[in-house]
Each structure stands twice: as structure tokens, then as C-alpha cells.
Amino acid sequence: MARLSLSDTDKQARDWFHRTTTDLGCKVHTDAMGNQFAVRPGLKNDQPPTYAGSHLDTQPSGGRYDGILGVTAAVEMLKVLNDNWVETAYPVGVVNWTNEEGARFPMSMVASGVWSGDIPLERAHNLKSVIPANDTATMKTELERIGYLGDVACSWKASPMAAHFELHIEQGPILEAESRRVGVVQGVQSYKWFTVTVRGRDSHTGATSFQHRADALLTASKMILASHKIASKHSALASTGILTLKPGSTNTVPGFVQFSLDIRAPQDETVNAVEADCKDAFSALAAGENVLDINTGCAPSSRTCSVDWRTDFVSPATHFHDDCVACVQAAGADLCGSGDVNGKDVGAWGKLMTSGAGHDSVYANKRCPASMIFVPCRDGVSHNPAEYSSPEACADGANVLLGAVLRFDKLRAERGH
Amino acid sequence: MARLSLSDTDKQARDWFHRTTTDLGCKVHTDAMGNQFAVRPGLKNDQPPTYAGSHLDTQPSGGRYDGILGVTAAVEMLKVLNDNWVETAYPVGVVNWTNEEGARFPMSMVASGVWSGDIPLERAHNLKSVIPANDTATMKTELERIGYLGDVACSWKASPMAAHFELHIEQGPILEAESRRVGVVQGVQSYKWFTVTVRGRDSHTGATSFQHRADALLTASKMILASHKIASKHSALASTGILTLKPGSTNTVPGFVQFSLDIRAPQDETVNAVEADCKDAFSALAAGENVLDINTGCAPSSRTCSVDWRTDFVSPATHFHDDCVACVQAAGADLCGSGDVNGKDVGAWGKLMTSGAGHDSVYANKRCPASMIFVPCRDGVSHNPAEYSSPEACADGANVLLGAVLRFDKLRAERGH
């Protein structure tokens, strides 16, 4: 699946969304970032809708579930409400957020970020397409071109939400591995992205003894291993996805290595602790000291490397709203037959989870109560054509989404707002 | 210094070589690979000359000593012989080997390899230029273009040598670090080049726990560290100069890593032992087992990686000829004042060494006795504009080269051939 944001195929999907939700009796509007909001009236329409939704764009070589499942399940929710003549206390909405992937315009969750007030509209409008490489389009010119530059301001004030529920595939292997049907998502992990630069000294692989080397790649390898050991100790994650080196010749010891480091944990403090431990360990490894037994058995060297850190991105932990989490949990229990919704353990059918990846719900949660529902995907594979969730898993997710929205509507009715 | 093989500047240096050696009374001929042979007659000219020489080409961004020093010192030798009216028993020659670096035409030591019969002439002639990238020239067309496609066959039979002595900068840090003036080179290390491929599984850095990962880069990092520990144990060298990975995104655990592995040691058996130990260790690390304490402290994983090896190049150990090594050692002792030339220790002035890098002397040694002379270079830096050897070090090398050639000539005179 390749449906890059604001492409011709994205326009087709948007047209489908507009037509289908209108046909289902919704009033639909589009904001200045192309976010689409479809609202089915309730009994009291002077209050904001309870929303379900996600995104319709994909990675350049993506799957058929990431994002799309959350929108189509929300549209299915509208059908079920209509088919069963359900009257909700408050309006119910479906949202399609623009460019969640950040694949074509390189800032993920950018349109929900503008909506929440975290990203300036002009910065988002001026983002340049990176796919295809020779494209000169910006978000604004593409929104205009496909007719989705809406006349409503992109803002939580102009399009308020009483709550935001998002169904998504897990994009990880845990639910499948533990045979759980539904993930009740309590929040999104804290994460920080760094670029680490190790400088040593180019030298001839044949003519330079270990003692006289400052091998930037050997040192970087030790650092990657150290980051893994440190993260393991803290029950956190540390990952390197990019590594480049110079000069890049079989018979030259590299004098320069740069690598990415992605540290994640449910709590900000844990991420900071892993960062601090890694900084200590990397400095010691660059200086040739033994850390975590990594240098044991290595030939000592009289030369050392230097190490520099650059912080590229900081995303603090998101804690979803208790009310929304409780609605998801109760809806899961309703569907799967376990009544224990009070304890920490939700029962064999489900799992309380922290999302490893970012989602539009992170920005939504800044302006209204939010939570997410995860369903298992095969082998945890995502952002790949092999991405797959079974029809049963998709149905579970859609049912829990419907149940959570109805429960939240009921909660609002009880509270009177 | 950029004097790529068979470029216009290489032609200038070749013209200088031809003119200068001719003016010094030599008879000069060029063979079908552009190798230049300048011969100063001796008393008995029906026997092959005793040669000194090296190469005039450089890396694209090379230094002012690598190769050139060995040719200019040999030309200086001719001048000294002339100035002092020295009559050698046998002729003395100076050779300039073509494209030793393999930088422009990607096969190092190719012209001495054709001369020795190890590389077919046609294969060498058809090598395509890789610098500049848009060049369509081959070795043969460039030899023709600059007028150095000689009419003498490129062969040890057509241009026989009684011996081959080569002065070269060390290209390593040992002589400088130990304050030795001269390296007496006994041979060239055995080495093997491999490409190692590690296959794991792409996965999301945030959504995939360590337990569910098959992290090809973490595994490759452990392998690089293991290769270093294993080589240290065997007093050998193992180096990785190239590493590439896919897909290459900060938030994706790489499922594919490929890296070069360069294993070297003075003896073939040692290289083979390091290779065998690395193969065992890499397989165990890919399977998640603990090897050399590298996995200790890592979170266990239920997924494994696979590892494949490809052998790219095998260069067995070269052992230089005892007569030539003895001549170099005696000439060093003459120059530096220590008389102990019989023991293993040559004295504080010098060091018996094994060259880590390949040289034309490797191929020459297959068809005649050979040895090399190393002089210190600053910080061991080579293949770089910062390459430097002091005037004193260059003079030491030139003096030992002259002395070794004269001693070998004397040895021949004593033996009568």
C-alpha cells in the first residue's frame, strides 16, 4: 500500500471518506491542515462530539492496516449506530488526521500537532515533500491542488473534541506472542533521539597494531552493546537504526562513525537514567576503559577516541486519560467475557499497554481525554507490505472502539456535560 | 599528492624517470604494462641486474612518500654510483611499477603481478578506470594515450631480475613508537578479506521489546567486538572498515547488516585459526549464545539472526629471501653502527618486521630474491596528505638501499653468478 499524504490516491480516499460519512448523515468539515471531521448528531448538539479516528496516509511501502483500520472502524461504528437506530446523548465524530506518517512531509503527526497548538500552522504548511525526491510541492500547495485546504481554522478551539479514541494495530509482537485479543493503551512511551559521533583515526588495517589504533567503529560497536546492556538493566529500550562511517575501505580502520540512538521507556525518568548511564559508559569506552565487562579480552590501545552527543528529538511520556482507558477496558471485557475490570490485570483477553510508537492520540490527549485500542498484527510487522491483522482481530478492535465511544457517551450523560 | 596511474601527471613523472635515468647512463625499456626498467651496466652484463625500485602512482588523496620514495632513492643510488665511479660486478637496475595502488585501475600491484605471471595481461589491460567516475578508459587505452604501452613483453623472462630491493615508508606507527631508524622487512603478512552478512528482522524500535527482536546491527556489533578479542588472543589483526545496513531509519531496528572483515597475521595458519574462531563465535552470537562474555548483561531474545561469510581475497604470507634480508640488515648495521647482524635482534637502530600491507615486492619475490626496507613515518599516517617522513629518515632509507644493493652485488661476485 502506498497512499502518500495529499497524493492523488490520498485525495481518492478523502473523497470516499467525505461521501460515505455524508451519506451516513454526518456533517463534514475540513480544516486548514486538511483534517476531516465528520459529526453524527446526538441529543445535545451544543457540546463537542466524542471522536473516533486515525489517519488514511501510509508509508511509501506500507501496509493495509496502519492508520486505515482506525478510520474504517470508526466509519463502521457510524453504520452500526444508524442500523440500530442508536441515539447518543452527545454527538459522535470520526476524524481523519493528515500526514500522520511524516513520510511525504517530514514531520510525523504534524496535523494533529497543529490542531493541539504545538506546531505552528505556517511551519506545517511550508513543509516540503521529500517523496518523490524531485517534488517541489509543499503541504499547502498540495492541500490546494487536491482541494482539501479547508476554510475552518486548524485548532482544538475550532474543532473541539470531548474525547478521542483511536484503534490501531499494535505494530509490535506482544499481543500475538501472549495470545491477547485487545491492548488497552494507557499511554505512549517517553523517547529521546540522539546522534552520537565517534572520532578516532584512519589507519591501515595491515600496518597498524591494535595498540596504535583509535578505531571508531570498534568503539561504536562497544557503545551499541553497552546501550543495550544499560537499557536491559532499566527495563527500557535502546536502539540504533542508522550507522555511517568514513572513509569506508576494507583496509582502512575507520576514523569516523556516526550512529543514531533511540532511547524509550514508559517514564521520562527512566529515559533520562538510561541517557545518563550511556553518556558515562560511552565516555569511558572512548577512553579505552572497561565498562560492563565490554573491554575485557580486548587488546589495550594507547590511543583514544572522542565522543559527541547531539539531541535530535525529545518526546515526553504521554499518559492517557483514566476515563478513556476505563471505557476501553470495560468495552474489552464486555466483548471478551471477563468481568474483572478493576484490577491491574485486565484478564487473559487483554493487556494494559504503553504504546512504543507515537500516534495522533498523543497530541489529541493534550486537549481532550484520549485512549487507544491495539489489536494484534502478525509477527509485529508494520510499515511493510507484509503487515497483517486477521479479520477477527480487526472486528475485535472495531467492537471495542464502538463500545468505548458508547460508554464514554453514557459517562458524559451521567455527568451532564 | 594526486598522481593517479597513467594520468597526465603520471606521464610527467614517467618522462622525468626516463630522461633522468637515461642521462645517468642507463639503458631504459618499457614493457607492455608500462613498467619502466632502467639498467646501469656492470662488469658482466650477460646476467640480470640487481634491482631497486617501487612505484610512482599515488592514491587520489595520497602522500608524498608512499612509493615515490623508493623510486627516487633508487635514482639517487644511480647518481651516487656514478659520482663515485663505482663499477659493480653485475648490472644494477631501477624499476617503476605501474598502478601499484590499484586506486585508478582497481587491482593493486597489478603490473608486478603480470610480470610475475600471476595475473593475465589481457585481464590487466581491460581493467576500467574507476577515477574519475565517468571515465571510460582502460589500462591499455591509457597506456597508449600517454605513450607508455611498451613493446617488451611484461614478464620476468623478458625483464629478468637477480634481486629486488624496495625502500618504502612503514605506513604504520611501530618504528616511530620504538625510536628505530630502519625496518628490516622479512616478509609480508598473510591476509584474508571477507564480507559478512547478518540477517535479522526489521522492527519498530518503540514497539518491539528486546525479547522479540532479531537486531542485525546489535549482532554485528557483537561480532566486530568478538573478532577483536579473538585476534588479540592470537596476536593477529582483525578489522572492519566497511559496514552498511538496511533499512536505515532511526526508529527501525535494522534487519540487514553487511560488513568487511580483514584478518592478518605473519603466518597463514594464524589467519586460518582466527577465521575458524570467528566463524564459530559469529554463529553462536547470531544464535544468541554467550561468547567471550559478550552477551552477558544483554536481554535475551527469542528470535535469532543468520550469518553468511563470503571470502573476497586470499593473500598467503610472503617470506622474503634470506640473502636479501641479510643484505638489508648488514647495510643497516653499517649505517647505524651496531655490528650484531646475526642474532634475531638487529640492535636498537632497527627492527625485523613483517609488512602489514602488500607491495610489488610480494610479486617480485616469486621470481627473484627480494626484501624491503622500511623507514618511520609520522604517526603511521599514510594514504593521506598528512603523510610525512623526515629528511633524515629518507636519507637513512636511501643509504640502506644503496648498501643492500652493493652487498648483494658483492655476494653475486663471490658466487660467480
Test mutation, B204, B233, B292, chain A, max A CBs within 10 A: B204
Q: Which three cell numbers stand for residue A257?
A: 562513525
- What is the distance of C-alpha B138 from the center of its chain? 23
Model confidence band, residue A113 (pLDDT cutoffs 50, 70, 90): very high
pLDDT of A223: 98
In chain B, CATH 3.30.70.360 sits at 190-315
Contact A207/B250, CB-based, under 8 Å? Answer: no
Closest Cβ–Cβ partner in A204, A296, A356 for B204:
A356
The amino acid present at B361, given as its one-letter code, is S
Q: What is the 3-state secondary structure (H, E, C) of B134-160?
A: CCCCEHHHHHHHCCCCCCECCCCCCCC
pLDDT, one tens digit per residue, over A252-287 is: 899 999 999 999 999 999 999 999 999 999 999 999
Given a cut of 80, whether residue B339 has pLDDT beyond it is no
Contact B217/A243, CB-based, under 8 Å? Answer: yes
**A332 to chain B, minimum CA–CA distance in Å?**
21
Rounded CA gap, A266 and A264, in Å?
7
**Hey, which residues 166-195 in chain B have their CB within 8 Å of chain A?**
170-174, 177, 189, 191, 193
pLDDT, one tens digit per residue, over B68-109 is: 999 999 999 999 999 999 999 999 999 999 999 988 998 899
- The region of weakest confidence among A177-191, B144-158, B179-193, B339-353 is B339-353
Q: Which three cell numbers stand for residue A376?
A: 494484534
CA angle A370, A374, A377 (to 5 degrees): 155
Rounded CA gap, A92 and B60, in Å?
68
pLDDT, one tens digit per residue, over B29-76 is: 999 999 999 999 999 999 999 999 999 999 888 899 999 999 999 999
- A-B interface: how many C-beta pairs under 8 angstroms? 214
Q: Can the peptide bond before residue B132 be classed as cis, meaning omega within 30 degrees of 0?
A: yes
Taking the Cβ of residue A107 and every Cβ of chain B, the question of whether any pair is shorter than 8 Å is answered with no
ipTM of the complex: 0.86
Test mutation, B171, B196, B251, chain A, max A CBs within 10 A: B251
Taking the Cβ of residue B298 and every Cβ of chain A, the question of whether any pair is shorter than 8 Å is answered with yes
The sign of the CA dihedral A243, A262, B249, B228 is: positive
In chain B, CATH 3.40.630.10 sits at 8-188+319-415
Judging contacts by C-beta atoms under 8 Å, the chain B residues touching residue A251 are 239, 241, 262, 357
**A229 to chain B, minimum CA–CA distance in Å?**
5
In chain A, CATH 3.40.630.10 sits at 8-187+318-415
Given a cut of 60, whether residue A27 has pLDDT beyond it is yes
pLDDT of B308: 98
Contact A293/B297, CB-based, under 8 Å? Answer: yes
pLDDT of A313: 86
| B167: CB partners within 8 A, 6+ apart | B52, B54, B69, B70, B73, B74, B372, B373, B375, B397, B398, B400, B401
Closest Cβ–Cβ partner in A171, A218, A298 for B204:
A171
Q: Which three cell numbers stand for residue A226?
A: 553497552
CA angle A115, A116, A117 (to 5 degrees): 90
Say whether domain A190-315 belongs to CATH 3.30.70.360. yes
pLDDT, one tens digit per residue, over B276-290 is: 999 999 999 999 999
pLDDT of A408: 98
Model confidence band, residue A249 (pLDDT cutoffs 50, 70, 90): confident
* Average pLDDT of the residues in B162-190: 96
* Average pLDDT of the residues in B187-195: 95
CATH architecture of A8-187+318-415: 3-Layer(aba) Sandwich (3.40)
pLDDT, one tens digit per residue, over A196-226 is: 999 999 889 998 999 999 999 999 999 999 9
Burial class (CB in 10 A: 0-12, 13-18, 19+), A415: exposed
Burial class (CB in 10 A: 0-12, 13-18, 19+), A19: exposed
Percent of chain A with pLDDT over 70: 98
B111 and B13 in contact (C-beta within 8 Å)? no
Could you tell me how many helices (H) and strands (E) chain A has, helices first?
Answer: 11, 16
Burial class (CB in 10 A: 0-12, 13-18, 19+), B223: buried
Taking the Cβ of residue B221 and every Cβ of chain A, the question of whether any pair is shorter than 8 Å is answered with yes
Judging contacts by C-beta atoms under 8 Å, the chain A residues touching residue B203 are 172-173, 380-381
Taking the Cβ of residue B381 and every Cβ of chain A, the question of whether any pair is shorter than 8 Å is answered with yes
Closest Cβ–Cβ partner in A174, A205, A232 for B237:
A205
Judging contacts by C-beta atoms under 8 Å, the chain B residues touching residue A262 are 205-206, 250-251
Model confidence band, residue A340 (pLDDT cutoffs 50, 70, 90): low
Rounded CA gap, B330 and A330, in Å?
92
**B91 to chain A, minimum CA–CA distance in Å?**
33
CA angle B35, B40, B42 (to 5 degrees): 135
pLDDT, one tens digit per residue, over A33-59 is: 999 999 999 999 999 999 999 999 998
Given a cut of 80, whether residue B293 has pLDDT beyond it is yes
**B108 to chain A, minimum CA–CA distance in Å?**
12
- The region of weakest confidence among A21-30, A143-152, B197-206 is B197-206
Given a cut of 80, whether residue A101 has pLDDT beyond it is yes
Q: Which three cell numbers stand for residue B184?
A: 628490516
Which CATH superfamily groups domain B8-188+319-415? Zn peptidases (3.40.630.10)
Given a cut of 60, whether residue A164 has pLDDT beyond it is yes
Given a cut of 90, whether residue A344 has pLDDT beyond it is no
The amino acid present at B201, given as its one-letter code, is R
Model confidence band, residue A14 (pLDDT cutoffs 50, 70, 90): very high
In chain B, the residue whose alpha carbon lies closest to the alpha carbon of A257 is B243
Rounded CA gap, A397 and A406, in Å?
14
β-strand partners of A142: none
pLDDT of A16: 98
Burial class (CB in 10 A: 0-12, 13-18, 19+), B300: exposed
Judging contacts by C-beta atoms under 8 Å, the chain B residues touching residue A193 are 250
* Average pLDDT of the residues in A393-417: 97
Judging contacts by C-beta atoms under 8 Å, the chain A residues touching residue B220 are 221
Contact B297/A297, CB-based, under 8 Å? Answer: no
Nearest Cα neighbor of A246 from A315, A191, A199 is A199
β-strand partners of A28: A38
pLDDT of B384: 85
Rounded CA gap, A292 and A281, in Å?
8
**B238 to chain A, minimum CA–CA distance in Å?**
8
Q: What is the CA radius of gyration of chain A?
A: 24
**A135 to chain B, minimum CA–CA distance in Å?**
21
Closest Cβ–Cβ partner in B174, B218, B232 for A224:
B218
Nearest Cα neighbor of A7 from A149, A131, A133, A114 is A131
Given a cut of 80, whether residue A13 has pLDDT beyond it is yes
**A112 to chain B, minimum CA–CA distance in Å?**
20
Rounded CA gap, B138 and B127, in Å?
5
Nearest Cα neighbor of B111 from B190, B123, B324, B373 is B123
Model confidence band, residue B10 (pLDDT cutoffs 50, 70, 90): very high
Q: Can you say whether residue A372 is alpha, beta or left, with left for phi > 0 and alpha for psi between -120 and 50 degrees? A: beta
Q: Which three cell numbers stand for residue A162?
A: 470531548
CA angle B178, B183, B184 (to 5 degrees): 140
A125 and A10 in contact (C-beta within 8 Å)? no
Judging contacts by C-beta atoms under 8 Å, the chain A residues touching residue B130 are none
Taking the Cβ of residue A300 and every Cβ of chain B, the question of whether any pair is shorter than 8 Å is answered with no
Rounded CA gap, B348 and B175, in Å?
11
Judging contacts by C-beta atoms under 8 Å, the chain A residues touching residue B241 are 205, 217, 248-254
